[in-house]
Structure 1
Amino acid sequence: MDYTAGVVARERSGHTAVLEGGFLYVWGGYLSIADDEVFLPNDEIWLYDIESGVWETHVMRGEVPPPMSGMCGSSLDGEMYIFGGCDDDGHTNQLYHVNLLDGEYTWRKVMNSSGAPPTPRDKLSCWVYKNRLIYFGGYGHKRLIQLDSTKTFVVDEALWVEEVFWGWNNEVHVFNPSTASWSEPHTHGLAPAPRAAHAGATLGSRGYVCGGRVMEARMSDVHCLDLESWTWTEIIPMSPIPMGRSWHTLTAISDSTLFLFGGLSVDCAPLSDGWIFDVQTKLWRELAYPHKNKPRLWHTASLGKDSDVIVFGGSRDYILWVDKGHCNEALVFQTQPYSLIRLCEDCIGRNPRVLLDRLLWLPRRIRQAILKRISFFKPTEKSQAISHAT
């Protein structure tokens, strides 16, 4: 298999990233070269070892999707699915998937599915529940005959051509991979306002939506969809609450808590604040962490080991103004207290010269785990550490 190790993934925004088997898999997105927006290569996938901090890249084959950004990525049973997004031909509603665990990295396009797929869109979200992919919201276009009176679509009056209308939606669409079928369940209760560039997460049998943009408004509201009864509920948090935002992330970090990070404020300022929301007590709590000087928007966030949240890429500037602030750092956010084993591994990783001569006393599995932590904290000393301890 073709691959390259010892390199670092390129800066990017609007990409997709999922975590499987200790690796963060990154695909797509775009960056700026001079005054042009350039999509990243579509025939490569980047792997980030969250234990060692080492990157490698692999060549992808098969029915490779076009280069794009703004697609919705999700992981189910070792497969990465991407839906929607924007490519050189505009918005799309195609669905692709690739096995991340067989080492082949061969794309397959979903063809001949039954039911009606969502209309073309980007900046949407996805919940994964009972082996189904459940998509919500996004920005895209519909034709006049596709519009209805149910208030599920808000027209962007600044952008429409003849009978093609652009705008935001609050639709719920379900894809079942086992039957290759699309469906649109009838929901109950008061649905969130149509939106895009919002954030979503799954907790148990419920899907959560936070914030996002419609028209010129950026919101901070929280809504919950029961994925069994298809009933919407708005959660009214107790103060304080985060400011309204878009292009942020929401990550489930326990059975009852969600972690919100970054985004773009109502004043178009990049944000670096992080908050934990308890869905049972309805309380927001701002989290203290060492990345306060690293704002991000249109990044990705994935749940790692020990409830860590791994944030990758995104922009540190308002991309519609500057468009030169794309990042390629992997930021780690500790959201829960670490176990004693994790604390010991990290302590040794930070102090390799003091304890390196004792690593040979450890069982091989533990020794390899510690070598990865040494690599993570001291990348420049990795080769020396391995040569002394293996």
Structure 2
Amino acid sequence: MEPGGDYREELVARERSGHTAVVEGNFLYVWGGYVSIAEHEIFLPNDEIWLYDLDSGVWEIASMAGDIPPSMSGMCGCSLSGEMFIFGGCCDDGQTNELYSVNLLDRKYTWKKRKHESGSVPSPRDKLSCWVHQDRVIFFGGYGHKVLSELNGSRNFIIDEASWGHLPAPRAAHASAILGRKGYICGGRVMETRTSDIHCLDLESWTWSEITPISALPVGRSWHTLTAVSDKSLFLFGGLSVECKPMSDGWVFDVETKKWKELDHPYKDKPRLWHTACVGRDSDVIVFGGSRDYILLVDTGHCNDALIFQTQPYPLHRLCEDFIAKNSTVFQKELPCLPTKLKGAVKKRTAFFRPAVL
């Protein structure tokens, strides 16, 4: 439909929770997760990947091949050099500690199962997090059970915890993000409660430190997200509170001033937990999927809408593109006169702002 039309009809990724999502180039890639149907938790197909164009807001689906991972939820995903890596997760056989990768740039979407060549493999787990630093993927936390070989194996070693600083308590369903050489974790399920504490790991000296904010804190929570939106700030959204209440609040933490600030946003009526959040163009945060209800209830309300959070002021060219796109019917005569590159950008943004028929 040309600019000025009323609606567009399109595919939309199915609602889900416990999935993984990464941004590579101009696309959000979504894989895996599960939905609740009647009294059953159903893993979503493992041989498909969904692509969301961040400019046009249009979804497409692609088939996958190769060493396809089992259908699962709770795995940790990240993007490194054009590949999406996933580790851990929970499938029909329980928690896993397998590592897979898929090239997102060649459009073939062929999975590869990665085999370790040295060192000890982390124990099976889900609801973990990871950082990418200097071509390495670094995993933290999660829920699982150690195996006997880990306790008695010859490859175990003793760590001098004094050299590690103030270690965080073991946890799962927490949130993490990276700024420069430092990885941050926030909150999660710790023993029988949910917290909002913040810890930082220097990924070069391998030293932990706990950060004590000097402002009001978000309430303790799990199944939330933490996303780096500048070189000194982290954006927290959603989660499940200590009282098992789904949350819709957003907060920005300044790692230099150690202050939290609640962010005003248009999605206060859209609580989310066990969703994904990725940084996109101009520090936008794209939240996809998750549940709007307590995740352990039967027939929980899984979601499939993409929420776009503006966390930084937009540059002038972005403001101009969006203004023209929102008012495309007014500028119908002028649109053909735009430079080719700008015309293409405006056409995509026009599709983004046009209502969709689902």
TM-score, length-normalised on structure 2?
Answer: 0.93
Equivalent position amino acid for 2:83 in 1: E
- Distance across 1 between alignment mates of 2:65 and 2:85: 15
Which residue number corresponds to residue 60 of structure 1? 64
Which residue number corresponds to residue 10 of structure 2? 6
- Does the aligned pair in 1 maintain the 2:38–2:299 contact within 8 Å? no
Q: CA deviation at 1:318?
A: 0.4
Matched, 1:20 2:15: no
- Does the aligned pair in 1 maintain the 2:20–2:33 contact within 8 Å? yes
Q: CA deviation at 1:234?
A: 0.4
Which residue number corresponds to residue 235 of structure 2? 259
Which residue number corresponds to residue 199 of structure 1? 175
Q: Residues 332-362 of structure 1, C-alpha deviation per residue, up to 9 Å, x if partnerless?
A: 0000011111111111121111012211111
Equivalent position amino acid for 2:72 in 1: M
- Distance across 2 between alignment mates of 1:357 and 1:322: 53
Of 106, 125, 128, the residue aligned with 1:102 is 106
- Does the aligned pair in 1 maintain the 2:19–2:32 contact within 8 Å? yes
Which residue number corresponds to residue 249 of structure 1? 225
- Distance across 1 between alignment mates of 2:189 and 2:249: 18
Equivalent position amino acid for 1:49 in 2: D
- Does the aligned pair in 1 maintain the 2:23–2:29 contact within 8 Å? yes
Tell me the matched-pair count. Answer: 342
Matched, 1:312 2:288: yes
Which residue number corresponds to residue 271 of structure 2? 295
Which residue number corresponds to residue 315 of structure 2? 339
Which residue number corresponds to residue 4 of structure 2? none
Of 335, 346, 352, the residue aligned with 1:370 is 346
Equivalent position amino acid for 1:51 in 2: D
- Does the aligned pair in 1 maintain the 2:173–2:189 contact within 8 Å? yes
Matched, 1:41 2:56: no
Q: CA deviation at 1:216?
A: 1.5
Matched, 1:221 2:197: yes
- Identity score, percent: 68
- Does the aligned pair in 2 maintain the 1:185–1:230 contact within 8 Å? no
Q: CA deviation at 1:43?
A: 0.1
Higher relative contact order (CA 8 A, sep 6+): 2
- Does the aligned pair in 1 maintain the 2:51–2:59 contact within 8 Å? yes
Equivalent position amino acid for 2:20 in 1: T
Deviates more, 1:347-356 or 1:266-275: 347-356
- Distance across 2 between alignment mates of 1:26 and 1:252: 19
Which residue number corresponds to residue 90 of structure 1? 94
Deviates more, 1:200-209 or 1:350-359: 350-359
- Distance across 1 between alignment mates of 2:189 and 2:20: 20
What does 1:66-215 correspond to in 2, within 5 Å? 66-144=70-148, 146-147=150-151, 188-215=164-191
Q: CA deviation at 1:380?
A: 4.5
Q: Residues 115-152 of structure 1, C-alpha deviation per residue, up to 9 Å, x if partnerless?
A: 1110000000101000000000010011345349xxxx
SS at structure 1 position matched to 2:239: strand
- Distance across 2 between alignment mates of 1:325 and 1:298: 12
SS at structure 1 position matched to 2:331: helix
Q: CA deviation at 1:59?
A: 0.2
SS at structure 1 position matched to 2:321: helix
- Distance across 2 between alignment mates of 1:288 and 1:185: 44
- Distance across 1 between alignment mates of 2:225 and 2:147: 30
Equivalent position amino acid for 2:214 in 1: M
- Distance across 1 between alignment mates of 2:116 and 2:76: 21
- Distance across 2 between alignment mates of 1:322 and 1:261: 24
Equivalent position amino acid for 1:9 in 2: A
Alpha-carbon RMSD:
1.6
- Distance across 2 between alignment mates of 1:322 and 1:307: 36
- Does the aligned pair in 2 maintain the 1:317–1:323 contact within 8 Å? no
- Distance across 1 between alignment mates of 2:286 and 2:160: 32
- Distance across 2 between alignment mates of 1:287 and 1:221: 19
Deviates more, 1:205-214 or 1:319-328: 319-328
- Does the aligned pair in 2 maintain the 1:315–1:326 contact within 8 Å? yes
SS at structure 1 position matched to 2:101: strand
- Distance across 1 between alignment mates of 2:117 and 2:279: 31
Q: Residues 90-125 of structure 1, C-alpha deviation per residue, up to 9 Å, x if partnerless?
A: 000000000000010000001243211100000001
TM-score, length-normalised on structure 1?
Answer: 0.85
- Distance across 2 between alignment mates of 1:368 and 1:115: 49
SS at structure 1 position matched to 2:146: strand
Which residue number corresponds to residue 156 of structure 1? none
Which residue number corresponds to residue 231 of structure 1? 207
Q: Is there any run of 5+ residues in structure 1 with no aligned partner, and where?
A: 149-183, 382-390
- Distance across 2 between alignment mates of 1:365 and 1:301: 29
Q: Residues 139-171 of structure 1, C-alpha deviation per residue, up to 9 Å, x if partnerless?
A: 0011345349xxxxxxxxxxxxxxxxxxxxxxx
Matched, 1:268 2:244: yes
